[in-house]
Amino acid sequence: MKIATRINRLGTETAFAVSAQARKWAAKGNKVYPFHLGDINLSTPLNIVEAANKYIV
């Protein structure tokens, strides 16, 4: 498979770097409030669910 050369311009996911810094900050005794990507404790808003069902299904 041939892949476009512009793929090389993609950056990395900065959330991982931020997470590492947050762990270091917490290890020093500082309070860190975690906000995770894709947190499973948050419900998807109903309007998003309805739109997804309408256009995907």
Inter-residue contact 39 to 49 (CB < 8 Å): no
Q: What is the mean pLDDT of residues 27-45?
A: 82
Percentage of the chain exceeding pLDDT 90: 33
- Return the percent helix, strand and coil in the chain, to nearest 5: 55, 0, 45
7, two tokens? 């793929």
Cα(36)–Cα(30) distance, integer angstroms: 18
Q: Looking at the predicted structure, is the pLDDT value of residue 18 above 70?
A: yes
Q: What is the rounded average pLDDT for all residues in the chain?
A: 85
- List the domain boundaries for the chain: 12-56
What's the pLDDT at 53? 93
Q: What is the mean pLDDT of residues 27-40?
A: 81
38, two tokens? 């894709």
Q: Is residue 4 very low, low, confident or very high in pLDDT (cuts 50, 70, 90)?
A: confident
